Amino acid sequence: MKFRLEDILPEGRAKIYEQQPSWLDERLAGEEKKDFGFQGPIHIRLTLNRSGRVVTAKSRIEAQMNWICARCLESFSHVVISEITSIFKPRPDHPFPEEVELNREDAETDFYDGDEVDLTELIQDQVLLAFPPKVLCKAECRGLCPTCGKNRNREACDCREDSMDPRFSVLKALRLK
């Protein structure tokens, strides 16, 4: 997803991509156990605008995915959607000072070399950062019973909720003054 500056017209440029999940394989190489999978291609919509040598890139990604719920271990399908705006400026010739205080605009700014802006890593990061930190099939998922292992979303069990780990039973006798 490289764009030459001269190809980004004053009125902007829009481009739509479909990337296969294998496009992320190199970035996910360290993932030994995946609790997700893509159901199809990753849909990417880019809108680029240029003011001089400053490029503004607006991107929207959408991917239909299969997940495994962190509470009940059931698989389910969910669409991941993310929209971001980034600013690209030419890389400065002088090195940055060792300590710099960043503001919000700095956090949204990236740099490019030469006359070409490469959005590949930015879009790959956007896809990966759109993954939820804890995947739940639904917010009110009741999970598995820690005693019998039944899925509490589907059936009730007769296990006692207040069962205590036997290793902590000696703490019952502890009295504080």
User: pLDDT digit string (tens) for 67-114?
Assistant: 999 999 999 999 999 999 999 988 877 766 677 776 777 667 888 888
169 found inside a domain:
no
Q: Dihedral through CA 13, CA 19, CA 22, CA 26, nearest 10?
A: 10
Structural tokens at position 41: 């291609």
Residue type, 69: C
* More confident of the two residues 176 and 38: 38
Q: How many domains does the chain have?
A: 1
pLDDT value, residue 2 = 87
Q: What is the pLDDT of residues 44-69, one digit of tens each?
A: 999 999 988 889 999 999 999 999 99
152 found inside a domain:
no
Question: Backbone phi, then psi, for 49, in 5-degree steps?
Answer: -130, 150
112 found inside a domain:
yes
127 found inside a domain:
yes
pTM of the model: 0.74
Question: Backbone phi, then psi, for 175, in 5-degree steps?
Answer: -120, 130
Structural tokens at position 51: 């003011």
85 found inside a domain:
yes
Domain containing residue 65: 2-142
pLDDT value, residue 147 = 84
